[in-house]
Every structure is written in C-alpha cells, then in structure tokens.
Structure 1
Amino acid sequence: MKIGLGADHNAFDMKENIKEHILELGHNVSDYGCYSYDEVDYPGVAFEVCNDINKQKIDRGILICGTGIGMAISADKIPGIRAALCHDTYSAERAQKSNNAQVLTMGAKIIGIEIAKQVVETYLKSTFTGGNSARKVQQIIDKEKESLKREECRNEEIIE
C-alpha cells in the first residue's frame, strides 16, 4: 500500500519513527511534512494528504499532531474522506473494518511511539469487511453527497 504520512511540528519525532515503521512493514510512504521542528499549521498538511487520497495517488493517510483532534477535524472537511482518531489498537482496527476510514489520526502528546507503531500496524493490516457496516458507511456517503448538492444549489442562487 502507498501511505501518505503527515504531521505538524508537535509530532515531527513521531512522524519520523512511524515512517520507518511503515517502511519496515513493507509499505511505501509519501511524506507530506513537516520536515523539522519549525512551526507548521496542521490543516494544510491534512488537506494535502486527503486530496491525494481522493486523487488515488495514495491509498491511506496517517496524520499526527499534538492530540490528533485537529488533524481529524481537518481531514473530515475534505469531501469523501473518513478520518478516525485512534490511540489504541481496537479503535484502529474498527476504524477500518467498520468505518472504512481512509485516514488514521493520532496525538503525539497523547500516546508514545511504541503504542503508535502498534496502532498504525493494526490499522494497516485491517480491511473493510462490509456486512452491516457497509449500510452505515453508505448512509454517511449519501449524507455527504446530499450536503454537497445543497451547497451547490446555494452557490448557484448567490451567483444569479
């Protein structure tokens, strides 16, 4: 799998460790930054990773900031993306198996690197199983499409 990996300055060390771990697991990594301890705003990193998922340049994304919350909120603003904040292996497994989440987010100030590696490994080994979950994920997709159509109609009304 090709994994997009991104972080802000609060998670630079964890990102570097996770990058090595993903490579050890046999996956490809596209590093979206940050590339140092210099301050970086996380939304831009999240938007870039998620846009590339939608363009099918990468298969999944892993985004890390201080808590993981900001990355999750940012990622979920991109239409078509389902991001899951996970700090344990069970949540990481369910993010994929039950929710078909293309993006995993974590907080570098919440969990340590070894736990983060386990979370990432579990997430990457898990696959969407469908079943009852497929119906629920489809409801989310349908709601998003409905909201996008409403927004398009509002924009057309403003232009006229």
Structure 2
Amino acid sequence: MRIAIASDHAAVELKADLREHLIELGHEVADLGPETADRVDYPDFGYKLASVVADGTAQFGVALCGSGIGISIAVNREPGCRCALVSEPLSAALAREHNDANVIAMGARLTGVDMAKACLDAFLSTDFGGGRHAGRVEKLSHPAL
C-alpha cells in the first residue's frame, strides 16, 4: 500500500519511527514533512496529507501532532477524508471497521512509539465492515443524505 504520513514539529520523531515501521512492513511511504523539529503549523501539513489521500495518491494517511487533535481537525476539513484520532488499537480497528477511516491521527505527546505502532497495525489490518455502517459513512461526506 501507499501510505502518506505528515506531522507538525512536535511529532517529527514519532513520524520517523512510524515511517520506518511502515517501510519494514513493506509499504510505500510518502513523507510529507516536516523534516526538522523547527516550529511549523499543523494545519498546513494536515491539509497536504488530506489532499493526497482524497485524490487517491495515497490509500491511507497517518497524521501526527502534539495531541493529534489539531491535525485531525485539519484533515477532516477535506470531505474525502475520514480521520480518526486514536490512542489504542481497539479504537484504531473500529475506526476502520465502522467508519471506513482512511486517515489515522495520534498525538506524539500522548502516545508512545510502541502504542502508536500497535494502533497503526490495527488500523491497517482491519477492513471496513460495510453493511449497516455503509449508509452512515456515506453521510459523513454527503450530510444532506
């Protein structure tokens, strides 16, 4: 799979760890930055990530910032993205199974690297359940339905 990953300055180290983890798992990774811990604005990187997921350049996205909250809000401004902020593997799996999330968000100041890897693994190994969830997911991108 092709997976895009982006962060703000607070999550540069976690981004590097998760990028390497994804590569070890055999995924193609598009690192959208930043490269250093110099201060940046998370919306800029959230919007960049959302763009490549929404247009299909990447199948999934990984969004990281200090808390995971700000960047997840930025990603969710794109109607083609369903970004779920998670902190443990069950919520990561349910985000895929029930909500067909295509972006996972985590907070580097709140989630350790081992837990972040476990969340990412659960997210990527879970398929969307469809069925009763499909109509609800459709409404996330088309509220008038």
| Per-residue deviation, 1:140 | 1.9
Deviation at 1:37, TM superposition (A): 0.9
Q: What is the root-mean-square deviation in Å for CA atoms of aligned residues?
A: 1.2
Matched, 1:53 2:53: yes
Deviations 1:91-142 (A, max 9, x none): 0001111101111000000010011011011111111110111121122222
Between the aligned partners of 2:140 and 2:9, the Cα distance in structure 1 is 32
Identity %: 35
Residue in structure 2 matched with residue 155 of structure 1 by the alignment: none
C-alpha displacement of 1:79: 1.9
- Aligned-pair distance for 1:36? 0.6
Aligned to 2:41: 41
> For residues 15-72 of structure 1, what are the alpha-carbon distances to aligned partners after superposition, in whole Å with 9 as ceiling and x for unaligned?
0000000111111100001101111111111111111112111101001000000011
Q: Which residue does 2:91 correspond to in 1?
A: 91
Higher-Rg member (1/2): 1
Where does the alignment leave 5 or more consecutive residues of structure 2 unmatched? none
Q: Find the counterpart in structure 1 of residue 64 from structure 2.
A: 64
Corresponding residue of 1:74: 74
Comparing 132-141 and 1-10, the one that deviates more? 132-141
Return the TM-score normalized by structure 1: 0.87
Q: How far apart, CA to CA, are the structure 2 residues paired with 1:12 and 1:140?
A: 30
Q: How many residues align?
A: 145
Aligned equivalent of 2:20: 20
Q: Give the partner amino acid of 1:55.
A: D
Q: Residue 104 of structure 1 aligns with which residue? A: 104
- CA distance in 2 between counterparts of 1:140 and 1:45 reads 22
Residue 79 of structure 2 contacts residue 141 of structure 2 at CA under 8 Å; is this kept in 1? no
Partner residue, 1:154: none
Whole-Å separation in 1 of the counterparts to 2:141 and 2:45: 23
Task: List gaps (5 residues or longer) in structure 1.
Answer: 147-160
SS at match of 1:38: coil
**What letter matches 1:92 in structure 2?**
A
TM superposition score normalised by structure 2:
0.96
CA distance in 2, matches of 1:45, 1:85: 16
